[in-house]
Structure 1
Amino acid sequence: MALRNPSRASSCRPSSSRSRTVQVRCQVTPKQLRSTAAALLASASLALAGPALADLNALEAAAGGEFGIGSAQQYGEADLQGKDFSGQDLRRSNFTSADCRNASFKGANLQGAYFIKAVTFRTNFEDANLSDVLMDRATMVEANLRNAVLQRAVFTRSDLKDAVVEGADFTNALLDKTQVMALCKYADGVNPVTGVNTRKSLGCGSQRRYKASFPSNPDGPQVAEDEKDAFRKTLPVYRQ
């Protein structure tokens, strides 16, 4: 190993000895010893870390998803324009700030997924399960929500202008009042999975019905216990 400063190289001289064997004594400074030891340790660490990191990456890839849940994929801030996710199991997947314009999630299971600040302009969510989805501050202009299940979903500060909601189930979902009023102007249909009327799930028609439709409203009911149990069953079990 080459020394950084040749002028300060260790000096070696033969030692005086009566035997035929000549011993060579070298003077090495403590600073040189520390530097040499650090370099050797660094080399050894790199040599050992390569295979170890490769094995770890292989295990992480095999586990798939968040906390080993194969359905929880990571698409945060990804460019997903026009991508086809039809029929896929994407529960608890992360689409935060993703660009999903013109993408298709038709018939996909997106329960508990994250679409915070996502762009879903003209995105196809027809027949999809969007229960418990967090779509806070999402852009959902002209999104297709036909026959989608949106129970307990959060759409606070999201823009659903001209979204297709025929047959969608918004039971216990959280929407801004202005969005609800806009959707109630043309909402229609019955969800084929839950059998819930779209207008009833939005609380259209009267102020009393509107107040009773949203669990965040103190004048309305909270989420039913059976619905809470159904959501808990989808959560991962970390310890037995």
Structure 2
Amino acid sequence: MALLNVFMCSKFSAKPRFSYPRPAVSAHPSPLALPLKQRPEASRKLTLPLTASVSAASLAALLSVSLFVVDPALAFKGGGPYGQEVTRGQDLTGKDFSGKTLIKQDFKTSILRQANFKGAKLLGASFFDADLTGADLSDADLRGADFSLANVTKANLSNANLEGALATGNTSFKGANITGADFTDVPLRDDQREYLCKVADGMNPTTGNATRETLLCN
């Protein structure tokens, strides 16, 4: 009887044991976990196209941006045959423009000291805030030109035609030679008109108008 009890206890009280299969641990890590130089050839082929595509995308982005980044100076080109060169905001000291056709040319804010415009056609040209100190504008066609805020001191305007030109603001003609110049319909400050009337003389050879009359001198 005792043996039977021992047998029954050993048969039903022992808990069954289950063994689950454990994942095999490989001695070789995944190819993608290795550095690029140590990866198999197949893994390299998967990685390199991705890197190349990213580099190509970055290059394309840089090129697209560069198309919009233009030298600011290239955006300012005037009219006339000289328009291929930039004349706005430039240092053109002593430059020779004599006899040239420079209709509506843009010389805004440029330094034009001692520049030569003798006999040039400058209809509608802009000299806004430009420095024309000592420039030669004799015999030039300056009809409708803009001299607003320009420094025209000691410039040679003899026999120049300035009909309808603008000279508003602090435009200065101090020391300028205006013999034979035509100032018809040029808006001048009272102090500038008074100064020019003191030195005005001659008659414009193109229009036949006396300089003093065009300045409305008393």
TM range (shorter): 0.5 to 0.7
Asked whether 1:165 is paired with 2:178, we answer: yes
- Compute the displacement of 1:133 (Å): 0.9
User: Of 179, 191, 196, which aligns to 1:178?
Assistant: 191
> Which residue in the other structure is 1:99 paired with?
111
- 1:68-87 to 2 correspondence within 5 Å? 69-72=80-83, 73-87=85-99
Runs of 4+ in 1 over 2 A off after TM superposition: 6-14, 23-29, 35-38, 41-48, 69-74
- Compute the displacement of 1:98 (Å): 1.6
> Which residue in the other structure is 1:40 paired with?
56
| % same residue | 35
Residues 190-233 of structure 1 deviation map (CA, whole Å, 9 limit, x = unaligned): 1111111211111111xxxxxxxxxxxxxxxxxxxxxxxxxxxx
Checking the alignment, whether the CA contact within 8 Å between 1:12 and 1:25 is kept in structure 2 is no
What letter matches 1:92 in structure 2? Answer: K
Checking the alignment, whether the CA contact within 8 Å between 1:12 and 1:27 is kept in structure 2 is no
Q: Which has the higher contact order (CA 8 A, sep 6+)?
A: 2
Taking the aligned partners of 2:39 and 2:199, their CA distance within structure 1 comes to 98
User: Matched residue of 1:190: which SS?
Assistant: coil
In structure 2, do the counterparts of structure 1 residues 47 and 103 end up closer, same or farther at CA, with 3 Å as the change threshold?
closer
Unmatched tracts of structure 2, length 5 or more:
1-31, 68-73
Larger strand fraction of residues: 1
What letter matches 2:98 in structure 1? Answer: S
Aligned-pair Cα RMSD in Å: 3.7
- Structure number with bigger Rg: 2
> Which residue in the other structure is 1:227 paired with?
none
Checking the alignment, whether the CA contact within 8 Å between 2:92 and 2:111 is kept in structure 1 is yes
- 1:1-240 to 2 correspondence within 5 Å? 24=42, 33=50, 36-43=52-59, 65-66=77-78, 69-72=80-83, 73-156=85-168, 157-205=170-218
- Compute the displacement of 1:74 (Å): 2.6
Taking the aligned partners of 2:132 and 2:175, their CA distance within structure 1 comes to 13
TM-score, normalised by the number of residues in structure 2: 0.68
Taking the aligned partners of 1:100 and 1:139, their CA distance within structure 2 comes to 10
TM-score, normalised by the number of residues in structure 1: 0.62
- Compute the displacement of 1:136 (Å): 1.0
Checking the alignment, whether the CA contact within 8 Å between 2:145 and 2:165 is kept in structure 1 is yes
User: Matched residue of 1:41: which SS?
Assistant: helix
- Compute the displacement of 1:8 (Å): 7.7
Taking the aligned partners of 2:184 and 2:144, their CA distance within structure 1 comes to 11
Unmatched tracts of structure 1, length 5 or more:
1-5, 15-22, 53-60, 206-240
In structure 2, do the counterparts of structure 1 residues 45 and 169 end up closer, same or farther at CA, with 3 Å as the change threshold?
same
